[in-house]
Amino acid sequence: MYKSKLDLQETELAIKALKDHFESTLAAKLNLTRVSAPLFVLPQTGLNDNLNGTERPVAFDIKETGCTAEIVHSLAKWKRYALKRYGFSAGEGLYTDMNAIRRDEICDELHSIYVDQYDWEKIITPQERNREYLRYTVREIYEVIHNAQHYLEKLFPVLKTDFLPREITFISTQELENEYPLLTPRERERTAAEKYGAIFLENIGGKLKSGKIHDGRAPDYDDWSLNGDIILFYPVLQTAFEVSSMGIRVDSETMQRQLMQAGLPERACMPYHRGVISGELPLTIGGGIGQSRLCMYFLQKKHIGEVQASIWPEDTMRKCSIEGITLL
- 17-38 residue pLDDT tens: 999 999 999 999 999 999 998 8
Answer whether residue 114 shows pLDDT above 80: yes
Least reliable range by pLDDT among 47-51, 96-100, 172-176: 47-51
User: Does 4 qualify as catalytic in the annotation?
Assistant: no
Q: Residue 325: its pLDDT value, please? A: 87
Given a contact cutoff of 8 angstroms between Cβ atoms, the answer to whether 111 and 304 are in contact is yes
pLDDT at 44 over 90: no
Q: Does position 54 have pLDDT exceeding 70, yes or no?
A: no
| pLDDT of 12 strictly over 60 | yes
49 catalytic, yes or no?
A: yes
pLDDT (mean) for 122-133: 97
Confidence class of residue 161 from pLDDT cuts 50, 70 and 90?
A: confident
Annotated catalytic residue 102: yes
> If you average pLDDT over residues 295-321, what whole number do you get?
90
pLDDT band (50, 70, 90) for residue 49: low
Q: Are strands 198-202 and 59-61 parallel, antiparallel or unpaired?
A: unpaired
Q: Which of 74, 112, 117, 256 is catalytic?
A: 117
Per-residue pLDDT reduced to its tens digit, 203-248: 999 999 999 999 988 898 899 999 999 999 999 999 999 999 999 9
Containing 240, the helix (H) or strand (E) segment is strand 239-249
Strand order in the sheet with 59-61: 40-41, 68-71, 59-61
- Whole-number Cα distances in Å, 208 to 58, 204, 215, 216, 231: 32, 9, 10, 12, 20
Question: Distances in Å between the alpha carbon of 215 and those of 54, 70, 267?
Answer: 12, 24, 21
Q: Is 117 in the active site? A: yes
* End-to-end CA separation in angstroms for the chain: 19
Verify whether residue 242 is a known catalytic residue: yes
Given a cut of 90, is residue 288 above it in pLDDT? yes
- pLDDT value at position 271? 86
What's the confidence (pLDDT) of residue 163? Answer: 87
Query: What distance in Å separates the CA atoms of residue 175 and residue 164, rounded to the nearest whole number?
Result: 23
In this predicted structure, what is the pLDDT of residue 52?
A: 55
Given a contact cutoff of 8 angstroms between Cβ atoms, the answer to whether 195 and 57 are in contact is no
| Across 288-307, average pLDDT | 94
Q: What is the pLDDT of residue 118?
A: 93
> In this structure, which topology does domain 8-322 adopt according to CATH?
BirA Bifunctional Protein; domain 2 (3.30.930)
What is 141-196 written as a DSSP string? HHHHHHHHHHHHHHH-GGG----S-SSPEEEEHHHHHHH-TTS-HHHHHHHHHHHH
* Span 55-63, average pLDDT: 83
**Of the given ranges (63-72, 269-278, 297-306), which has the lowest mean pLDDT?**
63-72
Where is 285: in which H helix or E strand? strand 284-290
| Residue from 116, 121, 128, 229 carrying the catalytic annotation | 229
What is the value of pTM for the model shown? 0.90
According to the model, what pLDDT value does residue 159 have? 92
pLDDT of residue 53: 56
Residues 172, 245, 308, 310: which is the catalytic one? 245
Question: What is the pLDDT of the chain when averaged over all its residues?
Answer: 91
Domains of the chain, by residue range, sit at 8-322
Would residue 245 show up in a list of annotated catalytic residues for this protein?
A: yes
User: What pLDDT digit, counting tens, does each position of 65-111 carry?
Assistant: 888 888 887 787 889 989 999 999 999 999 998 888 888 888 888 99
Catalytic entry in 70, 80, 102, 310: 102
Average pLDDT (178-205) is: 96
pLDDT reported for residue 127: 97
Q: Are 123 and 91 in contact (CB under 8 A)?
A: yes
